[in-house]
Chain A
Amino acid sequence: MIRTVAAKELRGALRDGRVLAGGLALFVLGLVALISAGVRFEALSQERTAAQAVVAQQWREQGEKNPHSAAHYGLYAFRPALPLAFFDPGVSAYEGVSIWLEAHKRNFATGRPADDMTPLLRFGDLSLAFVFQALVPLGLILMGYAGLASERESGTLRQLLASGATPVQLFAGKFLGLAVAALVLLAPLLLLCALALFIATGVTWLPSALALATVHGIYGALILLLALTVSARANSSQAALLILLAFWAMTSFVLPRMAADLGRVLHPTPNAQEFLRAVDADLASGLDGVPPAVRIAQRREALFRIYKVSREQDLPVNFQGVVFGIQDDIGNAVYDKHFGSLANAIDAQIDVVEAASILSPRLALGAISQEIAGTSIEHQRQFAWGAEQFRRRLMEVLNRDITFNSRSGQNNYRAGPALWRKSGEYRFEAESLAASLSRCGGPATVLVLWCLALLAAAVLTCRRLQVLAA
């Protein structure tokens, strides 16, 4: 019986001109999003790879100079464009693409793509994620809102139940029929996306793509379940439609913005100047209350005692290199403290958004999607932290070179290409899919809870259908 109902529903949907028009519109929009994102990804990928190579070459070929001059010259780390960003750009437009790795300072990533876009970007970006997270659910709502309500309004519900179909069979049949119809309509776009990914990256990212498809499929099923449940319970198809549209607008557009701004109000982040002021204050005073000048003097005295000398010039090492090392140690601790506090404030804001995902499953879907696509805040942090670790190693190499290969007061000391090559290059490697998924526990739980709640509601609704039809 389920198959019969499903087949009828599938045929009905695929013969409905409005459904076909909606499917076509989704295909066209998805195609526009796919092409524009594909072109952008290709350009960004090539550009950043080339820039990273140019910067590395500039570093290697900077000629002979004092290592500390080279430290101030520094290097740049460019965030690579990951392939699945073409599906879900996540927060990547609002994160800087490059970080200057220089002496003494931990810098923020600069060059946010959003800074170079029009104010209309704040309306939302037309991405494939938007198509699948906002537009496809709308399509499913429009396909499903009348599913059971219209049967009741036209009196055919009673006939169907009288003909031997149970409410569960009817519900399941309608669900399957509409789900298959949606899949048929979306298949061309899904295949094109898979093909584009395969051409661009081979099979490397296919497991991630499959994970993305799965989680979006679950969300689609959830929305369809909701649509049919509301359709069965509402007084009329008109009321069902209004309820579902209100739910869609609230969960897709209103709640995410409200939650994000509530997070900012509850857990404000410092502005850039406040942040730098606090960093400067700690750099000047030292985190443990011992000012850097005192620490340097203590180290000087210790070295004088070890080498039994009384002047820096008589030390077998360049004391300036030691000073740079002390300054970097203090600086690293200070930057860890303040970047950590900033990350905590942002995490607290994200917690508010995650809490709101209990009301808006789209937020949970978005969080999982960004993690899998490699466009979440956490991925940006991994890139920035990797760059920072590289910067620290680089400075250590340069400071040690000054310390052990020159003497205090030797202003004309120069190092050359051998040292620049020794310092290596920073290459960001994206984490594994399993590692990304390990952070999705919270949002995945929310989606599971929504599914369970809707399944329970659907079962209760089926019982009510029986009563209504009786």
Chain B
Amino acid sequence: MTARHGMLGEELHLLRREGVAIWAVLALIALVVAAALNGRALMAAEAQSAAAASAEADETRAAMAQQAGRGVASAREPGAAGYSVLAAPVILPAAALGPLAIGQTDLLPGRYLVTARGVHNFLGNGGIDNPLRLALGNFDVAFVIVWLLPLAVIALTFNLVSGERERGVLAIAAAAGSDLSHFIAGKCRVRALVLLVTIWAALLLAALVGGVPIASGAGLALWFVWATTATLYGAFWFALAVWVNTRGLASDLNASVLTGTWLLFVVLAPALTNLAATTVFAAPSRVALTTALREATEAADKRAAGERDQYFFDHPDMRGQDMDMSAYYRSVARSEREISDAMLPLLAAFDTQAGRQQQLVGRLQYLSPGTLSYQVLTSLAGSDGTRHRQLRAAALDFHVGWRDFFDRRLLSATPLEVGDYARMPQFVFKEPAVAEVLRRNLAPLAALLVIASGLLAWALRRLRRVSII
């Protein structure tokens, strides 16, 4: 026990003397915390916008209800309310681990303003973010873990054995009759312990400064699995570094080999996987979608042209108060439904192809621990696109109910009453159960565990035959 403590103290002392190791650990913790703060800022801005959209919709609805109570014609006209004024916010709630992995959150729509008009009116509205920022990527904790943790591990371990050999320590230890494999395994244990403590301390800090709800059972469970994924990923790189050290190469060659492997697994494999998925299952053309939308619009417009001319096409407001607004909105409703019906199969083709891309990525992810970890980390954080696709599907379902609410009254010429405003459909996102999220990530996590532990076992076995020269 005393010898082990002595080894620990000696190794920690050595680590302290190696500036690189200390800097790597400190930089990793600082970067994780900075990334968590950045994630929290982005999520807070998103939440604020979502709340504003929701409040605005509520205010408009309340004002319309009041007007309907006073008998204002436009507030009682279901067509005007559904097709011109009201929009129901369909909002993706913030995910518990959202601040840790921004993933697709800043790219894919996290809310839709659903109106009674066709689906093409709300599905196509993307964000207006800075494209350069989107292209450069996010600085979030997932990025620090997947990209930079391996570099920190490499900095800590690239000369684990080779450094001792180059300094002549191995030769001295062998001459003194020490068990070399025991000596090196001890060094491995200490460095692994340093890494383990660093990762968990950094991620705990990230959870605290990022506002992750670890006080709740679900939040804690997700965070624990998230941190475990990061640990397994770190373990893979540690095992790889030990394995490379057993090859008997010089320290700088070890560093080159490990950096090359990092490049392969973290940079090239994900890029090639994305390239393969988007090439094999290329998304349908957005340009073709645009021309199809145009054709559908033209066909609907031609059918409605005669009845809409009296409203200056889309300006019933300019024709005075004596116009039959219901007739105008019935015409609009028919056009919108025709366009929507024509567009839905085309839009579904995008979903189908996105699903196929994801399936292929799901299979190819096992080729790279970097891809595998990133997929799990973003999936646990609800930012891998799955929740966004679920929101889109839910928005389409909700749209049917929302549109029918107004169309039924429009077609039967039933004015809206005050009570109708309270009876309008309300959207609630059905969050997948934590167990379901964990189950979805079980196979990739198990794979990561097998890869990391298998490589570590192999590396430790090879340590027994380590050469002193």
With contacts A91-B135, A98-B286 taken as known, whether A263 is within 8 angstroms of B113 at the C-beta atoms is no
Number of inter-chain CB pairs below 8 Å: 250
Q: Determine if B126 and A115 form an interchain contact, defined as CB atoms under 8 angstroms apart.
A: yes
Asked if B181 is an interface residue, CB under 8 A from chain A, the answer is no
The residues in A between 87 and 101 inclusive whose CB is less than 8 angstroms from any CB of B are 90-91, 93-98
Cα(A124)–Cα(B268), bound, Å: 9
Residues of A within 8 A of B (CB): 18, 29, 32, 36, 47-48, 51, 54-55, 58, 62-63, 65-66, 68-69, 72-73, 76, 78, 90-91, 93-98, 108, 110-126, 130, 134-135, 138, 142, 145-146, 237-238, 241-242, 245-246, 249, 253-254, 256-261, 263-265, 268-275, 277, 320, 323, 342, 345-346, 349-350, 353, 377, 380, 411-412
Q: Say yes or no: A125-B271 contact (C-beta < 8 A), given A93-B135, A242-B155.
A: yes
Kindly report which residue of chain B lies nearest to residue A39, judged by CB atoms.
B279
Asked if B3 lies at the interface with its beta carbon under 8 angstroms from chain A, I say: no
Q: Which single member of B255, B271, B318, B384 contacts A123 (CB below 8 Å)?
A: B271
Q: A320 near B312 (CB under 8 angstroms)?
A: yes
Contact (A245, B130) CB under 8 Å given A72-B314, A115-B107, A119-B378: no
**Seed contacts A91-B131, A121-B274, A346-B130; 4 additional CB < 8 Å A-B pairs:** A51-B291, A73-B298, A119-B385, A273-B53
A272–B287 CB distance below 8 A: no
Say yes or no: B297 contacts A95, CB within 8 Å. Answer: no
Q: Which one, B204-212, B215-223, B226-234, B354-362, is touching chain A?
A: B354-362
Is B294 part of the binding interface, using a Cβ–Cβ cutoff of 8 Å? yes
- A36-B297 contact in complex given A97-B287, A350-B130, C-beta closer than 8 Å: no
Q: Determine the distance from Cα of A73 to Cα of B151 in the docked complex, in whole angstroms.
A: 55
Check B288 for interface membership: any CB of A closer than 8 A.
yes
Cross-chain contact B138 with A122 (CB below 8 angstroms): yes
Contact B314–A238 (Cβ < 8 Å)? no
Selected from A73, A124, A126, A342, the residue in CB contact (under 8 A) with B128 is A342
Q: Are B151 and A249 in contact (CB under 8 A)?
A: yes
Task: Choose from A18, A111, A261 the contact partner of B133 (Cβ within 8 Å).
Answer: A261
Tell me the bound Cα distance from A271 to B235 in angstroms: 40
Kindly specify which of B300-308, B410-418, B446-454 makes contact with the partner chain: B300-308
- Shortest C-beta distance, B308 to chain A (Å), equals 7
Question: In the bound complex, do residue A63 and residue B143 qualify as a contact, i.e. CB atoms below 8 Å apart?
Answer: no
Question: For the complex, what is the distance from the CA of A124 to the CA of B371, rounded to whole Å?
Answer: 12
Asked if A257 and B136 make an inter-chain contact with CB atoms under 8 angstroms apart, the answer reads yes
A110–B375 CA distance with the chains assembled, in angstroms: 27
Q: Is B49 an interface residue (CB 8 A)?
A: yes
User: Which one of B103, B287, B298, B361 contacts A51 once the chains associate, using CB atoms below 8 Å?
Assistant: B287
Q: Verify A68–B107 contact, CB threshold 8 A.
A: no
Please report the C-alpha to C-alpha distance between residue A73 and residue B383 in the assembled complex, in whole angstroms: 37
User: A111 touching B289 by the CB < 8 A rule?
Assistant: yes
In this complex, the interface size class of chain B, counting residues with CB under 8 Å from chain A, is 35 or more
Given A62-B298, A63-B302, A126-B268: A118 and B127 within 8 A (CB)? no
Question: How far, in angstroms, from A417 to B118 measured CA to CA in the complex?
Answer: 29
Q: Are B288 and A123 in contact (CB under 8 A)?
A: no
Contact indicator A118/B272 (Cβ below 8 Å): no
CA distance A76 to B124 in the complex (A): 15
Q: A54-B291, A58-B295, A272-B125 are in contact. Are A242 and B255 (CB under 8 A)?
A: yes
- The smallest beta-carbon distance between A440 and chain B, in angstroms, is 15
Could you mark each residue 127-149 of chain B with 1 if its beta carbon is under 8 Å from any beta carbon of chain A, else 0?
Answer: 11111111111110001000110
**Are A29 and B295 closer than 8 Å at their CB atoms?**
no
Residues of chain B contacted by A51 (CB below 8 angstroms): 287-288, 290-291
Are B256 and A253 in touch, CB under 8 angstroms?
no
Residue B251 CB within 8 A of the other chain: yes
Residues of chain A with a CB closer than 8 A to B34's CB? 258
Q: Which residues of A contact B113 (CB under 8 A)?
A: 273
The complex places the Cα of A62 from the Cα of B52 at a distance, in Å, of 41
CA distance A350 to B132 in the complex (A): 8
Of all A-B residue pairs in the complex, the 9 with the closest CB atoms, nearest first, are A116-B283, A111-B286, A94-B131, A120-B274, A123-B270, A126-B271, A91-B131, A257-B139, A260-B133
Q: CA–CA, A258 to B255, complex, Å?
A: 25
A98-B290 contact given A73-B298, A120-B371, A123-B274, CB 8 Å threshold:
yes
Question: Can you list 23 A-B contacts with CB-CB less than 8 angstroms, sorted by A residue number?
Answer: A51-B287, A58-B291, A68-B315, A93-B135, A111-B286, A116-B278, A116-B286, A117-B274, A117-B278, A118-B361, A118-B385, A119-B385, A120-B270, A120-B273, A125-B271, A126-B274, A237-B252, A238-B255, A241-B252, A257-B136, A268-B45, A271-B49, A323-B318
Question: Nearest-CB distance from A210 to chain B (Å)?
Answer: 25
- Complex CA–CA separation, A98 to B293 (angstroms): 12
